[in-house]
Chains A and B, each alone.
Chain A
């Protein structure tokens, strides 16, 4: 990825997403996060369950009304779309691939109708023959047989269903795709197939992905940059190779140290690093600081030196 001349496709600014606001059970699912996604890249979002990564994805595609903050897509504020036409264009440009391929396809609809739903709503087909052709092309693009178009979802395996979900997302020719745990419901041997398909589509159609997952090795493989979330906050953002090789934040270190690796020799010596999250709530004001080029860490003013020191030790910064 060439970040020198990269254009921002999405800007998230101080996004807050609270639930049950003002009540005793108020949940601050996403608490003031900011990040940008560049055109053509894959941005991975990792974190434990409850860290707010799915909520972030859903807020970006505007399934929720944000409590505070701005989401700019191609420079336009997603919240301020008043006209139907603007909203439709936004919905067309941004699509989502869901986690569970068993729950996200309507069992009563034929595959061709599932895939063509977006085409119909946006009137993208001239006539029936054009619609059929578009659907068949899409099915072939995702590696399914075009004769499958008049079947129902239950006739397909998990991996095939996820391909149908991908075809549906691609039907309206999106620019930006949010993939929320797209492979975690699939078998290991099928996961690789779907990831390869997603990478191929990105090369051919110049898509931008927001890839949300908890499988850290798969996220590293597919992503250009990665953001680490914890308790609704973004703790660290960096290029994927760098964040794995030289994590600066203690939480990232702890998270990475817990990933089991398919290598018995390595596993025998692996030591998990515990993380004490209480330091995060000591009342100090923290924000993301760029410690080394494109490597951001959430830090209070008096912690910046410590992180800079760590970056020096990892020779991320040259003097």
Chain B
């Protein structure tokens, strides 16, 4: 591993899907780290490649997927070089996933106690009685009420929120090092969503797992993430700590995402929106894939792909606007307000005599 604090290092990952129409370039050179015990949120629109990234980590891609380059290092081993059988022993034990839809990710014909206990019996060779006893403990931990009496119920006897708790219990029963949560609350109501998110935070403290959290809901990201990676058209376009992304975003796509979501106090006739639609990844455009929808696009954006520019030690963005020769632009109103808030927060930090984060914009090729 390059960095001791990392549990997972993804480098230069490229994934194509072979279709009749040609190769869909779903992941185009993605690199990121996951630190021990942190929550990394990956945000982006559908089709931006966030789910494909995590499915590649899990080794669960569709058959027409072709991983053309890259490495995924976990505990000094490259997951991409593992056989299917080796991956089977990692999945559900070291790396587990909470799937999006609790209505379809449980087996309707199996009692939930057995579904929760199954990973223990498969991975640890535990006897059924002991595994069921642990499953019961886990059910109590994730807050399934009346667990003793409900352990022999079937999934259809539970509500959506309870089913998602069961899915979480299955994912956590082996205390995985890495937990992938792919839109775990998108199918749920806000009140239930709040309960599930609180539960995930609590459990993360208890079993100190690292979480990759995939969502398109920036409100959820703000509450859950330590760090955020923004994906667009198969690439990460900006990453940084949650404060850096929400209060000092640098990429015009991040600006667009943040301003197109109404907050509880936005008003006015027009909501700022990102015009157009994402590009077709069968034939990704040259240069910056976001250029066609970007009001701040420069001429170079259509010709050359922007490298990552360093904003701070933890914050990088791939936009030519950060190049020293680029014209100075004023971000949308809402973003300026956010940046002001950030500046104020930075001042507070300095006042509290903590090490300040350099906000100088320097060029650095990644």
Contact = CB atoms under 8 A, between A and B. Distances in A.
Co-complex (A, B)? yes
Interface of A: 48-49, 157, 159-160, 187-193, 195-196, 199, 203, 214, 216-218, 220-221, 241, 244, 254-256, 258-268, 270, 272, 275
B263 A264 contact: no
* Interface-central residue, B221, B223, B275, by most chain A CB under 10 Å: B223
Interface of B: 45-46, 160, 189-194, 197-198, 216-223, 242-243, 246-247, 256-258, 260-264, 266-267, 269-275, 277, 341, 345
B216 A187 contact: yes
B246 A264 contact: yes
A263 B218 CA distance: 8
B335 to A, nearest CB: 12
* Interface-central residue, A187, A258, A265, by most chain B CB under 10 Å: A187
Contacts of A221: 262, 266-267, 271
Given A189-B274, A220-B262, A49 B190 contact: no
Chain B facing A: main interface SS? helix
B279 to A, nearest CB: 12
A189 B341 contact: no
A259 B222 contact: no
22 contacts: A48-B189, A48-B191, A48-B192, A157-B277, A189-B45, A190-B45, A190-B273, A191-B260, A192-B271, A192-B273, A196-B273, A221-B266, A221-B267, A244-B264, A259-B264, A260-B190, A262-B221, A263-B263, A267-B223, A268-B223, A270-B223, A272-B198
B231 to A, nearest CB: 13
A23 to B, nearest CB: 20
Chain A facing B: main interface SS? helix
B246 A187 contact: no
Nearest to B220: A260
Given A188-B257, A199-B269, A262-B263, 17 more contacts: A48-B190, A48-B191, A189-B257, A191-B260, A192-B260, A192-B271, A195-B271, A196-B271, A221-B266, A258-B194, A259-B264, A260-B193, A260-B219, A261-B264, A262-B222, A265-B247, A266-B222
Nearest to B48: A187
Contacts of A255: 190-191
Given A216-B190, A217-B262, A261 B222 contact: yes
Contacts of A214: 189-190
Nearest to A157: B277
Given A221-B266, A259-B190, A188 B261 contact: yes
* Interface-central residue, B217, B218, B277, by most chain A CB under 10 Å: B277
A218 B263 CA distance: 8
A261 B275 CA distance: 23
